[in-house]
A and B are shown apart, each in its own frame.
Chain A
Amino acid sequence: MRRYLGRKLLIYGLTFFVAVTVNWMIPRFMPGDPVSSMLSRANVAQPAAVEAMRAHYTAMFGFDLPLWRQYLNFWGALLQGDLGISIWLFPTPVSDVIVRAVPYTLGLLIPSILLSWFAGNRFGAFAARRKWLDNTVLPFGYVLTATPYMWLAILLAWALGIVAGVFPVAGAYGFDLRPSWSWTFIGSLAQHWFLPFASLFLVAFGGWAIGMRNMIIYELEADYVNYLRALGAPARLVRRYAFRNAILPQVTGLALQLGVLVAGALVTEIVFSYPGLGHLILQAIQNQDFFLLQGTFLFIVIGVLIANFVIDVAYVLVDPRTRTGMGGAA
């Protein structure tokens, strides 16, 4: 078990290293000069201001130093939590901007991922090999899992928000409120949270249900199932065994899907102008705020790596083979 988790940690460490290096390399090795392209995009007219900005950016990137020195400085700044200054919200440090947005993204992502995973797996296992359910409901699952996240978000916002007027369609709380611990504020927060959550939940739910349904069908053909049936075991017991075996690939699948789920949350936030990381990314792109964009990238990578590790630990808990060193999948 220790070997298994140790190996995983090594991979995650390397991934983080690669992510940071890519983050460092892209502005430096892309065609053209990042400083002058940033200046031209900033659209500043006064020559004095342009010169000041040029000096500022050059110092920020540290272009006058040798490459290896620039690279080490980059790491040094990163380890102190210094991700640069946001241009969009000048002069707020990028890390502050991100820390303010992260709770909203997590508040959407964690419930929608966990609930869709549990509900989807239950439902998929239930539908497998039950003819009418399989034939009527699962095509619907395929449609859901093929739906682009932002489109379902747009549809829900339009149907329930604008046409029916039941839910608000922008922001994380009413424009007339300030964050506080009052019931009105929490109520408003929940109201604004529901639609983005629902659209994330629905798309992911379809995927898990179909995955589980297919897994159960594989499992119900396995030798141990035939053996149990030959012994006359009740169908419920057989299904429970199949479920336990089929859930393992779904745990691995959760780790594989994380990137897609995060991407889904980002575009959903954009649809609802929900002030999480997706909203930051949009602002960063529209305002050419590259420090903010890069900082958000690193933050998301770190989050995904941590989530992966949590899933690995969970995998050890549900699959006894990894504990005894017998290998097992993953």
Chain B
Amino acid sequence: MRNEALHFALRNRKLVVGTVVILVFLVAGLVGPLMFDYGPNEYVGPPMAPPSGEFWLGTTTFGQDVFAQFLYGLRATFLVGALGGVLAAAVGMVVGFVAGYRGGWIDELLNMLTNIVLVLPALVVLLIVNAYLGVRSIGVQALFIGLTSWPWAARAIRAQTFSLRSREFVDLARLSGVRTPKIILREIAPNMSSYLFLTFILLFGSAILIAASLDFIGLGPTDSVSLGLMLNNAARWSALQLGLWWWFIPPGAGITAIVGALYVMNVGLDEVFNPKLREM
């Protein structure tokens, strides 16, 4: 079984391409900043210099190195995606498992909660919260993103749990007196592990996009560089009018590549786990 999944995984072009793109950016974000002996916001070069051998992606209006900002920004992007995605997946799993397995009034209540958070437009809620509380770090930003973007995951997991809970092996576990948390952890979750992983990938991608929007509006963390903040600065200091394309193209392209690779990876994995979808 394991080998079969691996066999198809290595032969799935979507999965391989997506994973390679993600890994390249991840390594660039982890190792890249070590190449510089200056920080991303330091004024190191001539202002508004186009890409050159010295500054690969040129400089900003203030003479900051765009390439250095980009590499540091990748870190922030991955961090906010991972933290926000993990948190949203965790909340979604707890709500989904409990609602789906317990049923009854607990289900009704959790369902109500899920639907309410689902209808509220996440970014607009985050705008209010961030504007008042003044988010200053990536961790806090990820925390709020995680707390607002779990509902669809909870709903999907609840539906899956619902269909699993009346299977024989779950009945057997219940009859042998296994406690509920253990049943969920040992019997139900492993049977939908592929599904949970796919959910996490999508949450990861959406957390990156939400964070980029927040940064762009000017409610991002103030203690670091991120790809969204680069876009914000480029727009604020009229990079468009000045024709500094090297300032606003790389950050957006980076976000698009990462999120797009995550989506493509998601479809590839889906095909690996679900034989019906494989291309014939």
Which of A46-54, A76-84, A178-186, A261-269 contacts its partner? A261-269
Tell me whether B240 is interfacial, beta carbon within 8 Å: yes
Q: Once bound together, how far apart are the Cα atoms of A260 and B123, in whole Å?
A: 8
B217-257 with Cβ < 8 A to chain A: 217-219, 228, 231, 234-235, 240-241, 243, 245, 248-249, 251-253, 255-257
Which residues from chain A sit less than 8 Å from chain B, CB to CB? 11-12, 14-15, 18-19, 22-23, 26-27, 30-31, 34, 139, 142-143, 145-152, 154-155, 157-158, 161-163, 169, 210, 214, 217-218, 221, 256, 258-260, 262-263, 266-267, 270-271, 281-282, 284-286, 290, 293-294, 297, 300-301, 304-305, 308
- A-B residue pairs, 6 tightest by C-beta: A151-B252, A146-B260, A259-B121, A263-B123, A146-B259, A15-B116
Q: Once bound together, how far apart are the Cα atoms of A146 and B245, in whole Å?
A: 20
Query: Inside 8 A of B132's CB, which chain A residues have their CB?
Result: 26-27, 30, 34, 290
Tell me whether B276 is interfacial, beta carbon within 8 Å: yes
Across the interface, do B218 and A158 meet the contact criterion of CB distance under 8 Å?
no
Across the interface, do A142 and B264 meet the contact criterion of CB distance under 8 Å?
yes
**Which listed residue (B209, B234, B240, B276) contacts A148, Cβ 8 A?**
B209
Tell me whether B1 is interfacial, beta carbon within 8 Å: no
Across the interface, do B241 and A162 meet the contact criterion of CB distance under 8 Å?
yes
Secondary structure at the B interface, as helix, strand, loop or mixed, is helix
Min distance, Cβ A226 to any Cβ of chain B, angstroms: 12
Query: Inside 8 A of A145's CB, which chain B residues have their CB?
Result: 260, 263
> What are 8 sample pairs from A and B whose C-beta atoms fall under 8 A apart?
A11-B116, A23-B128, A27-B132, A30-B132, A34-B132, A146-B262, A271-B235, A297-B127
Q: Once bound together, how far apart are the Cα atoms of A214 and B121, in whole Å?
A: 25
From known contacts A143-B256, A148-B256, infer whether A14 and B116 are also in contact, taking CB-CB under 8 Å.
Answer: yes
Tell me whether B175 is interfacial, beta carbon within 8 Å: no
Apart from A12-B119, A145-B260, A146-B259, what 13 extra A-B contacts exist at CB < 8 Å? A15-B116, A23-B128, A146-B262, A149-B213, A151-B251, A151-B256, A158-B240, A218-B277, A258-B121, A263-B123, A270-B235, A285-B127, A297-B125
Interface size on B, residues (CB 8 A): 52
Query: Inside 8 A of A304's CB, which chain B residues have their CB?
Result: 119-121
Across the interface, do B212 and A142 meet the contact criterion of CB distance under 8 Å?
no
Tell me whether B129 is interfacial, beta carbon within 8 Å: yes
**Which listed residue (B115, B212, B235, B240) contacts A162, Cβ 8 A?**
B240
**Which listed residue (B118, B245, B255) contacts A151, Cβ 8 A?**
B255
Query: Inside 8 A of B146's CB, which chain A residues have their CB?
Result: none
Q: Once bound together, how far apart are the Cα atoms of A151 and B235, in whole Å?
A: 10
Tell me whether B152 is interfacial, beta carbon within 8 Å: yes
Across the interface, do B124 and A262 meet the contact criterion of CB distance under 8 Å?
yes
Min distance, Cβ B31 to any Cβ of chain A, angstroms: 24
Tell me whether B112 is interfacial, beta carbon within 8 Å: yes
Query: Inside 8 A of B234's CB, which chain A residues have their CB?
Result: 154
From known contacts A11-B116, A151-B231, infer whether A146 and B263 are also in contact, taking CB-CB under 8 Å.
Answer: yes
Which residues from chain B sit less than 8 Å from chain A, CB to CB? 112, 115-116, 118-125, 127-129, 131-133, 152, 205, 209-210, 212-213, 216-219, 228, 231, 234-235, 240-241, 243, 245, 248-249, 251-253, 255-260, 262-264, 267, 276-277
Query: Inside 8 A of B267's CB, which chain A residues have their CB?
Result: 142, 214
From known contacts A143-B260, A154-B235, infer whether A11 and B119 are also in contact, taking CB-CB under 8 Å.
Answer: yes
Q: Once bound together, how far apart are the Cα atoms of A29 and B93, in whole Å?
A: 29
Across the interface, do B124 and A300 meet the contact criterion of CB distance under 8 Å?
yes
Min distance, Cβ A277 to any Cβ of chain B, angstroms: 9
Q: Once bound together, how far apart are the Cα atoms of A26 and B134, in whole Å?
A: 12
Q: Once bound together, how far apart are the Cα atoms of A262 and B126, in whole Å?
A: 13
From known contacts A26-B128, A142-B263, A294-B128, infer whether A286 and B218 are also in contact, taking CB-CB under 8 Å.
Answer: yes
Across the interface, do B256 and A305 meet the contact criterion of CB distance under 8 Å?
no
Across the interface, do B252 and A15 meet the contact criterion of CB distance under 8 Å?
no
Q: Once bound together, how far apart are the Cα atoms of A145 and B210, in whole Å?
A: 13
Give A207's nearest chain B residue, CB to CB. B263
From known contacts A221-B276, A258-B121, A263-B123, infer whether A154 and B231 are also in contact, taking CB-CB under 8 Å.
Answer: yes
Query: Inside 8 A of B119's CB, which chain A residues have their CB?
Result: 11-12, 15, 304-305, 308
Min distance, Cβ B220 to any Cβ of chain A, angstroms: 12
Query: Inside 8 A of B262's CB, which chain A residues have their CB?
Result: 146
Q: Once bound together, how far apart are the Cα atoms of A150 and B236, in whole Å?
A: 13
From known contacts A146-B205, A150-B231, infer whether A139 and B264 are also in contact, taking CB-CB under 8 Å.
Answer: yes
